[in-house]
Amino acid sequence: MNILYFLVGCSVLMALIFLAAFFWAYKTGQNDDVHTPGIRMLFDDEVVAEKSEEDHFSS
């Protein structure tokens, strides 16, 4: 029975930590830009130029 009291206490403590982390993130502006993440997948990634095999073997 003592373990139940311990586990309930740990779960309440963990819930308070997550709640504090949520309020900290909200207060520091983590959720200000809600438009850009939705359209970020539409942007093209930058293409990195790879060396050809001839350049690789010549050096």
**In this predicted model, what pLDDT tens digit does every residue of 5-54 receive, in sequence order?**
999 999 999 999 999 999 999 899 877 777 887 788 788 777 666 666 55
The pLDDT assigned to 23 comes to 94
Which pLDDT score is estimated for 47?
Answer: 67
Calpha distance 56→59 (Å, rounded): 6
List C-alpha distances in Å: 39 to 30, 33, 43: 17, 11, 7
Q: What is the pLDDT confidence band of residue 58, given thresholds at 50, 70 and 90?
A: low
pLDDT of residue 44: 76
